[in-house]
Structure 1
């Protein structure tokens, strides 16, 4: 069993849900989160009065699932990200589960 964690901007919520569906991961949870990004600007005018947005309405998704479904959703996320022109791609990570109570 693996723990899959996915983050995305809120605008991609329907897309991420579709990725779970097409990857046959039928049980997952989600939560609203606030993503933050610090912009490094050498020139103060580049970020005067927060010219660059530094926080984003985001979503966190997680699911306990099998490794074969992880491979499928990772491939689907890679395809999705390659087709979108955005700095806020969908991100995913997998953690091994050593012990659990069911």
Structure 2
């Protein structure tokens, strides 16, 4: 069994739900989160402040599922990211589950 964790900007929520369906991952959970990025200006003319912080409405998805379905999901996410031109691609992490009840 594996745990897959996926983060994305809120705009991709429906796309990720479709990716779960396409990957035949039938059970998953989600939660609204805030994503943050810090930038430092290389040129003072580009930014009046010493640092700029951007906040993004984001979503966290997770599912406990089989290794086979995780591999399909990762492939589908990779394919999605190559088709979308964005500075905020879908990100995924997989964790081994040693024991569970």
Provide the TM-score with structure 1 as the length reference: 0.91
TM-aligned CA deviation for residue 56 of structure 1: 0.2
What stretches of structure 1 move > 6 A for 4+ residues in a row?
none
1:40 and 2:48 matched: no
> What residue is the counterpart of 2:67 in the other structure?
67
Q: 1:77 — aligned with what?
A: 77
CA distance, structure 1, for counterparts of residue 83 and residue 39 of structure 2: 25
The one-character-per-residue Cα deviations of 1:30-86 (angstroms, maximum 9, x if unpaired) are 00000000112222332336xx66110000000000000011011100110001010
2:2 maps to 2
Which residue of structure 2 aligns with residue 27 of structure 1? 27
Q: Per-residue deviation at 1:2?
A: 0.4
The root-mean-square deviation of aligned C-alpha atoms, in Å, is 1.6
Counterpart-to-counterpart distance in 2, 1:12 and 1:47: 29
Inter-partner Cα distance in structure 1 for 2:30 and 2:98: 23
Number of residue pairs aligned between Structure 1 and Structure 2: 100
TM-score (norm 2): 0.92
Structure 2: gaps of 5 or more residues:
none
User: 1:38 is paired with a residue of what secondary structure?
Assistant: strand
